[in-house]
Amino acid sequence: IRTVSVTGSGIGVLGDTKTLNLDKVTVKIRNKTETQYQTNDLTRSAVITTYTANNATRLPGSIVYSLSQIINDPAAVDAHYYAGVVYDYYKTKFGRNGIDNGNMTIKSTVHYSRNYVNAFWNGSQMVYGDGDGVNSLALSGGLDIIAHEMTHGVDEYEADLIYKDQSGALNESFSDCFGTFIEYFAQKNKFDWEMGEDVWTPKIANDALRSLQDPTKYGDPAHMNDYNYTTSDNGGVHTNCGIPNKACYLIATSSGMTIEKTEQIYYRALVNYLTQSSDFKAAKEALIQSAVDLYGVNSVEANAVKAAFEAVGIY
Ligand SMILES: O=C(O)[C@H](CCc1ccccc1)CC1(C(=O)N[C@@H](Cc2c[nH]c3ccccc23)C(=O)O)CCCC1
Ligand SMILES: [Ca+2]
Ligand SMILES: [Ca+2]
Ligand SMILES: [Zn+2]
């Protein structure tokens, strides 16, 4: 087979047209040849490949392709395009070479299972359900969700926070925070401090899965006094993340602070200071130390981190 990188396009989950980097492959099928345009992006230092599970659950499934340069699969269009956006964010902002910092292939699978209203990082790749059209649209339609999942991959090669109780809630919070930072980086016109809003409940406006600005809007705690001691969801990792999420919002919106400074502090903590068993207090110390490294002892930035964590009850 021969392959060459070409530009194609497709309509995304929200009906917008996106330009895609495709791989033009001439394959031999029995005694004839067929030209396929595959969702295999060879334009970056890390290959980005998008698969379909065809509504089954075997991973990764088969590479999405078209016989023309138009990819007629909205979920695949967005998964392919947004994975590139997230790669570019980590490269541009921190000089990071993708998920493992070694340009490993970035794999996404769409059309996972049937009416699957969720998404996940399975330790090796991103996986997205189609939603059920009521609770959600196809989940790859949300850049903040794709950024959330790919950040789980980055965490795995860095702090590798244990996915349980406080370290698990931190794991979730870092994915929500970077999901928000990446939305700001790529979609400033529709930036918000909520998660999944673009695909969540298409019939209901102004709602989302979680809010970093006001976690209580969706029933999540915003203070240690309301920590949810539970055994479900690995110790409530998707609800207790509201506490560090609120701290992140307070840091970024403190006077003298910007999202650009906040994301540098968060990335440095994730890479240099956090470990598998880090709890909320350890995260506060890691983030303060990162701010000190970057902006100085007793700096406005370091004090903003300290004050934000104390405001959510972490001393
Ligand atoms: O990556 C994660 O942390 C979440 C992974 C969920 C999962 C875990 C284990 C096996 C399969 C799936 C997926 C996301 C999540 O936060 N899921 C939440 C909220 C949620 C999504 N769909 C739902 C349907 C019902 C109830 C809750 C949910 C959850 O699974 O709790 C992250 C961003 C959006 C989806
Ligand atoms: Ca958002
Ligand atoms: Ca909605
Ligand atoms: Zn997560």
Sequence-ordered strand ranges (E) for the chain: 2-11, 17-29, 32-38, 40-41, 48-52, 62-63, 65-66, 70-71, 106-110, 119-121, 126-128, 194-195, 210-211
pLDDT at 1: 58
Determine the atom of ligand 1 nearest the C-alpha atom of 136.
Answer: 22
Query: What pLDDT, in 10s, does the model give residues 39-49?
Result: 999 999 999 99
pLDDT, averaged across the chain: 98
> Which atom of ligand 1 lies at the shortest distance from residue 233's CA?
31
Assess whether 260 carries a catalytic annotation.
Answer: no
Q: What pLDDT is attached to residue 2?
A: 62
Helices 280-295 and 300-311: crossing angle in degrees, nearest 10, is 170
For 128-142, letters b (16+ CB in 10 Å) and e give bbbbeeeebbbbbbb
Residue 231's φ and ψ, nearest 5 degrees, are -100, -15
Longest Cα pair distance anywhere in the chain, in angstroms? 72
CA 88 to mean position of chain CA atoms: 13
Band (pLDDT 50/70/90 cuts) for residue 5 is: very high
pLDDT digits (tens, 9 = 90+) for 250-304: 999 999 999 999 999 999 999 999 999 999 999 999 999 999 999 999 999 999 9
Share of the chain above pLDDT 90, in %: 97
What digits encode the pLDDT tens for the residues 70-90?
Answer: 999 999 999 999 999 999 999
Per the annotation, the verdict on 223 as an active-site residue is: no
For ligand 2, a single-atom ion, which residues have Cβ within 5 Å?
144, 183, 192, 194
Nearest-angstrom CA–CA distance, 287 and 293: 10
- Which residue, by CA, sits nearest to atom 14 of ligand 1? 119
Ligand nearest to the CA of 233: 1
> For 11-64, how does the pLDDT look when each residue is reduced to its tens digit (9 = 90+)?
999 999 999 999 999 998 888 999 999 999 999 999 999 999 999 999 999 999
Measure 132 CA to ligand 3 centroid, in angstroms: 13
Task: State whether the beta carbon of 83 lies less than 6 angstroms from ligand 1.
Answer: no
Q: Is 149 in the pocket of ligand 1 (CB under 6 A)?
A: yes
The amino acid at 60: P
Residue 66, both tokens:
């078209």
Write down the ipTM of this complex: 0.99
